[in-house]
Amino acid sequence: MKLPVINAEPLWHERGEPSAALQLAAAAWHEAERAAQVAIVLRTVDHQPPRFKLVAAHQDDALVGAVLAECLPGRAAVVMQPRITDNAIEPGAIAGALLQGMNQALRADGTLLAQALTKQRSDEAAGQFQASGYYLVGDLLYLAADLTAPLAEDEVAENELAEADSGFQLIAHDPDDFARWGPLLDQTYIGTLDCPAVDGLRPTSDVLKGYRDIGRPRSDWWFIVRHQGEDVGCLLLAEHAEMPQTELIYMALVPAVRGRGWGLHLVQHGLRVARETGAQHMILSVDADNAPALRHYVAAGFRVWERRAIWVHKLA
């Protein structure tokens, strides 16, 4: 087989029109959301540094494959499954070459960690990523809670009373205060059940930058849990006003105060905050093996709607 030529490609052919390579790579999205996702990509073409990277493969000057990645704050990227044309020769080799080319492009820009999601642990996409240096870190469950159904007055009163009697306080704090958030997050990562295999792959400051980039930043939605004069946990929320929905980005407690049922009170507080904005849903993702967190989420009304295997590749 003649080796494919791997090159970075422009996202658009003419202003507002996606390039052929982008149209091919976009097939990784579900058809129902593809047009909207492509429009989002095209709106970022003038961003510096670039928000999306596109790598394409050609054989005899014909486009035979493409792969797209979204670059995130905090030196991370989400890489989509490579898409190969039907007439390509040895599609597996082309997919591998595309992912290696994308790894090189991301590494050149200082990206530390590439991530990918697959429907199964052993499907075609999983094999492609594994062959290109990615390794499995677990399964993510995606959950959602309906915020449109009003709570009964006695349920609201019961939740507020339970939180008041829990022994902790919640204070909103500036997301830009890395000096305070960094040590707190490091403590919550000790013994974590939420994707422990990725702990330490990036500096905590990078992780915080990634959290801060989710949705519309709101300083009044980042909460620190206080107990006996100490920072012992956090609840981070984000607003997606265009949906309209909210997201629970991260919730955790330090080891010394786990096992007290506080997690459920934190989730209920987050739901109450979200309802006040008129949002219709709250979404989150959690490691499928994190049984304590799952119990809190289900008890608070969340339901699982999707499951994905998560793969990572440390680039530096």
Query: Would you say domain 142-307 falls under CATH 3.40.630.30?
Result: yes
23-37 pLDDT, tens digit each:
999 999 989 889 888
Would you say 147 and 276 are in contact if contact means Cβ atoms under 8 Å apart? no
Domain boundaries, the chain: 5-133, 142-307
Burial class from Cβ neighbours inside 10 Å (0-12, 13-18, 19+) for residue 32 reads exposed
Q: Is pLDDT above 90 for 293?
A: yes
Q: What is the pLDDT of residue 160?
A: 53
In the structure, what pLDDT confidence band is assigned to residue 16 with cuts at 50, 70 and 90?
Answer: low
* Mean pLDDT of the region 113-130: 95
- Residue 82 is classified by DSSP as P
| Residue 284 CA, distance from chain mean position | 9
Average pLDDT, the chain: 90
Q: What is the pLDDT of residue 161?
A: 47
Q: Which of 53, 58, 52 is nearest to 84 (CA)?
A: 58
Would you say 16 and 42 are in contact if contact means Cβ atoms under 8 Å apart? yes
| Domain range 5-133, its CATH number among 3.30.70.600, 3.30.420.40, 3.40.630.30, 1.20.58.220 | 3.40.630.30
Q: What is the pLDDT of residue 151?
A: 61
Q: Which of 91, 100, 102 is nearest to 131 (CA)?
A: 100
Would you say 202 and 112 are in contact if contact means Cβ atoms under 8 Å apart? yes
Alpha helices in the chain (DSSP H): 20-25, 31-42, 91-108, 124-131, 153-164, 178-188, 204-212, 262-275, 291-299
In the structure, what pLDDT confidence band is assigned to residue 157 with cuts at 50, 70 and 90?
Answer: very low
Q: Is pLDDT above 90 for 48?
A: no
Q: Matching CATH topology for 5-133 and 142-307? A: yes
Burial class from Cβ neighbours inside 10 Å (0-12, 13-18, 19+) for residue 238 reads buried
Q: Is pLDDT above 70 for 159?
A: no
* Mean pLDDT of the region 305-316: 95
Give the C-alpha separation, 292 to 290, whole Å: 6
- Residue 197 is classified by DSSP as G
63: which 2 tokens?
């486009």
* Mean pLDDT of the region 99-113: 95
